[in-house]
Structures are given as C-alpha cells and as structure tokens.
Amino acid sequence: MRNKHRKPSAYCSNAGSKYSLSLLTFIIWGFVGCVLMIHFYHIIHHNDQEETEVKLSNHMVTRELEEVEEENFQIPPPRGKRSPRAVLRRGPRKPPTAIDEFLDEASDMRPFFFPGRRNAVDPRKGGNYSMHFYPARIWLDTDGNPIQAHGGGILFDEKSETYYWYGENKDGETYHAHKKGAARVDIIGVSCYSSKDLWTWKNEGIVLPGEETNITHDLHKSNVLERPKVLYNDLTGQYIMWMHIDDANYTKASVGVAISSSPTGPFQYLYSKQPHGFESRDMTIFKDDDGKAYLIYSSVDNSELHVSPLTDDYLDVTRVVRRILVGQHREAPTLFKHERTYYMITSGCTGWAPNQALAHAADKIMGPWETIGNPCVGGNKVFRMTTFFAQSTFVLPLPGIPGLFIFMADRWNPPELRDSRYVWLPLTVGGLADEPLEYNFGFPLWSRVSIYWHKRWRLPQGWRTW
Ligand SMILES: *[C@@H]1O[C@H](CO)[C@@H](O)[C@H](O)[C@H]1NC(C)=O
Ligand SMILES: *[C@@H]1O[C@H](CO)[C@@H](O)[C@H](O)[C@H]1NC(C)=O
Ligand SMILES: *[C@@H]1O[C@H](CO)[C@@H](O)[C@H](O)[C@H]1NC(C)=O
C-alpha cells in the first residue's frame, strides 16, 4: 500500500528507538560476534577439503552472486544538471537529494532510474543478455509488451511445473482523485504471466478483472486493488488469491479473497473484510512446509504487523492473531523460510518514495520477531538506504539451491505508475552456514539476510529441481 497520508518518515523510523539501548548494545555485540563467527567459519570452511560436491558447487554459484558490485552516480548531480523543479521543491539552499531527483519527472537522472525502451529486456531477441535479469529496465513479455505485474508474487505450480507471476495491471492513466489524493491508476485487474525459466514470461491475461460499472463492488475501477498473492490449497485443489482491497482514500483497509480451479483463472471474487476487525493494508500470504498458510498485514495505521493462520481451505483467517513489530511502522511485508527459521523483509512507510528495507527473523512464524537490520549490500550508500530505489513485494525460493532466493521489488514511478519497474536481485541467507549459529546471552544470532545489488545477473546452474 502506498498511503500518501502518512506520518513523516522520521516518526516512522524513530518509533523503535525507545526499545531500550541495552537491547541495541546486545544486538550490536551480537552482530559483531556473528560477523567474527562467520569469518572464522569461512576460514575453516575454506580449508575443508572434504566438502561434498553439492555444497561446494552451491558455494561457488552463490559466491558469484555475492560479489559486491559498486554503483557510481553523483548525488547531488553536477550543478548544471540539477533539475530546476527539484531545486524549487527543496529551496535554493538545500541541495536536492537523490530521492528528490528520483521523484522528479524532469530530472536529468531520469534515464538512470528508468532506462528507456531501447534498453528493454526482450525475450524474443535472445542473444547476449538472454536469461539475464537487469533490475529496473523495461521487461517485455513474449508478445513484446512491458510486463504489468506490479506489487506481485510468484506461485510455483507443481502440477504443471510452471511459475505463475501475479500482479497489479497498472496499464492505465496515472491521476489524482482529488488534491490530497495519492497518485493512482484505476483498477484494471490482476495480471498473470507464466514461465518455466523465470525469465521468459508469457501473458496469461487478466485473471481477475476490475469492475467497470457496479460502483458498490469492491473491484470497481475507482477503488484500490494491491499486492495480489496466490497459493495452491492441497486439500481443496483450488488456487486462492488474497489481495489488499481499499477505497481511493485508503480508509476501507481490507483484504479480499478470490478463488479459481486453474492457476490462469478466471478467479471468482468472494468477499473482503477487515481481518479480526483490524485495518489491513499492505499484506502477503505464506504457505509453510506443513501446508498451513498465514496472512501477514500492516495494521493500526501501519504502525504494526499482524500475523494470522488461515483456515484449512485458505478462504478466511482463523481467530488467532498476533501483533508483531509493534510500533515499528513497517509495510510491504514478504515472508520466506530457510532451515526452520522464518524471515521477513519489509519497507518503511513513505508513500511512493523509496526507503530503507529491514530484515526480520523468528523461530516461530507467530513470533516473537526480531529486526536484524538492512539486508541491502552493494550499489552505494543511497542505493542501500532506498532498497535500490524500490520496495519489497515477494521473496521466491530457488528449490535447487537452498539458501538462495530471488528478492522481488517494485521501483515505483509515481508520475507514471504503469511504467514502474521490477528490481529482482539475489538474496542469500547466512554466510552459507550449514549449522545453526549458537545462542549468545539468550539472544539467537540470526543468520544474515543479504540482498546483493547487480546491474546484470542470471540464475546459477542447478537452481531447478525438476
Ligand atoms: C555482452 O554483454 C556484455 C556485458 O554487458 C558486454 O560487455 C559485451 O560487449 C556484450 N557482447 C556483445 C556481443 O554484445
Ligand atoms: C454490485 O455489487 C454488489 C457487491 O458485490 C452486489 O451485491 C450487487 O449484486 C451488484 N449489482 C449488480 C447489478 O450486479
Ligand atoms: C476521499 O477524500 C476526499 C477528500 O477528503 C473526498 O472528497 C472523497 O469523497 C473521498 N473519496 C472516497 C472514495 O472516500
């Protein structure tokens, strides 16, 4: 969700600082200890000749993706190159920040943040860049049209051994419903794309369309449909979609549910509600190894997250709910699991503007959850403070290489939302530690979650299991 009527981000990011200095000290020492242990482990690991071949090759493949790649650009841009509008907004004395430039349509840095059509990634051309991800470039489907699957998520369908990418189709005009309204696009519907290789995406059409005429319908085009996610229910054999449903002013703050017997739809819209009577804005769903699924949603004016198990048919929440990361003001939650530990990446709440991602970890999905820091590595400082100018939406495990994931994020383009870009990057957990780290003074030393910046990268061999 990108509610424009947010509190200033300073409030958002300072909210947790009351949490007690001693805990912070613990965390810092814990982190130092962790780094030392990982370092030590690496030294041992390096000399260990008895590696199994699989582990060695995993290490090799992920090491390539873990190379720290710097990104050089000058912020603020050289005087002559400053956007007059960014200067105007900040006043003459304050130099424009990278975020001002990023948000300014007229900025000379625009092509850096939003590369043009000439550099589009086109699966029909193949050639040199084939199978390579280029974060933030225009990404075309197999028909040659830009992929429209924003705020999306990916389902791996075991029956067809196919990946399905669901997301918001925002291929309409960006406008403001009223003076103080957030930039928006009318609901068009949820797009679905299919792929076997995660790079070549075929458009499967709009699997849940918006409603053109019925103004009382949740999906009426004047409303908001964000962050659709789909799970397969093993018990009922149905595909269940959950999404954020809202009105244009983000006051409805509800979740919606839809169902289909096929991954490519059509999905039948069932209902919306406020889970447990609470506001629900940015949200995601997660299916655990045991088949139980969970809803995670930003609540109480986005000041905290709630986690709740779904019913066995995934069509509703159960009565159980826990408040987590209370007072931390996080949104855009994504959830994933590695070696019995649950991890989450979230963003701060600053409307369409990018901000710093945080990683969180927990032994149990219902909490307690602990914040373990900014996962972004490489690029440069501004990149790391802005999640590479993007916002988390999903983390996809790569079954063949445990510990390696694709971090999926949206680089929103508020003046032209349909031209928002996808930032996909490799995410790894731990220094490839294959044994859980020790507890330190009762505080678990969580493995590090790292998202590595790359201008260009590809999946390593062996990422598939079929
Ligand atoms: C292929 O891409 C690489 C990296 O971007 C570049 O250095 C190289 O010149 C390209 N080769 C061709 C034939 O385009
Ligand atoms: C309009 O939508 C509402 C809410 O979903 C529904 O109850 C009503 O039957 C719909 N009206 C028509 C004419 O389809
Ligand atoms: C949103 O808020 C504006 C201004 O407060 C108001 O004019 C408009 O009717 C509201 N729209 C909805 C859908 O609630």
Kindly identify the ligand whose nearest atom is closest to the C-alpha of 216: 2
Cis peptide before 123 (omega within 30 of 0): no
pLDDT of residue 73: 72
Q: How confident is the model at residue 62 (pLDDT cuts 50, 70, 90)?
A: confident
Q: What is the CA(127)–ligand 1 centre distance, in A?
A: 10
Cβ(217) – ligand 2 distance below 6 Å:
yes
Confidence of residue 78 (pLDDT cuts 50, 70, 90): low
Q: Is the pLDDT of residue 432 over 50?
A: no
Q: Distance (Å, rounded) from C-alpha 256 to C-alpha 220?
A: 13
CA 56/CA 50 separation, integer angstroms: 10
8 Å CB contact between 321 and 290? no
- Distance separating alpha carbons of residues 73 and 187, to the nearest angstrom: 36
Instruction: Measure the CA–CA gap between 378 and 452, rounded to whole angstroms.
Output: 6
Q: Is the CB of 47 under 6 A from ligand 2?
A: no
Do 209 and 258 contact (CB within 8 A), yes or no?
Answer: no
Q: Name the residue among 11, 3, 99, 185 with its Cα closest to residue 411.
A: 99
Residue 312's pLDDT is 98
Query: What's the confidence (pLDDT) of residue 57?
Result: 57
How far is C-alpha 104 from the geometric centre of its chain's CA atoms? Answer: 23
pLDDT tens sequence across 207-229: 999 999 999 999 999 999 999 99
Alpha carbon distance 222, 211 (integer Å):
9
Tell the residue number behind the tokens 């908001």, with chain if given. 224
* Ligand that comes closest to the CA of residue 219: 2
Q: With contact defined as beta carbons under 8 Å apart, do 345 and 359 qualify? A: yes
Residue with CA nearest ligand 2 atom 4 = 217
- Cβ count within 10 A of residue 240: 23
Q: Which token pair is 140?
A: 């075309």
Q: Which amino acid does the sequence have at 151?
A: G
- Ligand 1 centroid distance, CA of 128 (Å): 6
How far is C-alpha 74 from the chain's CA centre?
A: 27
Select, from the ranges 44-58, 68-82, 187-201, the one with the highest average predicted confidence (pLDDT): 187-201
Task: Indicate which ligand has the atom closest to the C-alpha of 220.
Answer: 2
> How far apart are the C-alpha atoms of 54 and 56, rounded to whole Å?
5
Looking at residues 402-419, what average pLDDT do you find?
Answer: 96
Pairwise CA distance, residues 190 & 53, whole Å: 43
Q: Measured from the CA of 223, which atom of ligand 3 is nearest?
A: 13
- The answer to whether the beta carbons of residues 41 and 431 sit under 8 Å apart is yes
Helices (H), 320-393: 381-385
Ligand 3 centroid to 152 CA: how many Å?
A: 27
Predicted confidence band of residue 14 (pLDDT cuts 50, 70, 90): very low
Res 156: pLDDT: 98
- Whether the per-residue pLDDT at 433 is higher than 50: the answer is no
Is pLDDT larger for residue 394 or for residue 89? Answer: 394
Q: Phi and psi (nearest 5°) for 209?
A: -80, 155
What was the pLDDT predicted at 93? 60
Confidence of residue 16 (pLDDT cuts 50, 70, 90): very low
pLDDT in tens, 319-362: 999 999 999 999 999 999 999 999 999 999 999 999 999 999 99
Is 213 close to ligand 2, i.e. is its CB under 6 Å away? Answer: no
Please determine, for residue 4, whether its predicted confidence score (pLDDT) is greater than 50.
no
Domains of the chain as residue ranges with CATH: 19-73+330-466 (no CATH), 147-326 (2.115.10.20)
Q: What is the pTM of this model?
A: 0.85
Sign of CA dihedral 246, 229, 397, 304: positive
Tell me the C-alpha distance between 422 and 424, whole Å.
6
pLDDT confidence band for 108 (50 / 70 / 90): confident
- Give nearest CA residue, ligand 3 atom 10: 249
Percentage with pLDDT > 70 across the chain = 79
The encoded tokens of residue 233 equal 């229910």
How far is the centre of ligand 1, averaged over its atoms, from the C-alpha of 382 (Å)? 27
Please give the torsion angle defined by the CA atoms of residues 12, 15, 21 and 23, in that order, rounded to the nearest 10 degrees.
-90
Q: Residue whose CA is closest, atom 1 of ligand 3?
A: 249
pLDDT in tens, 153-164: 999 999 999 999
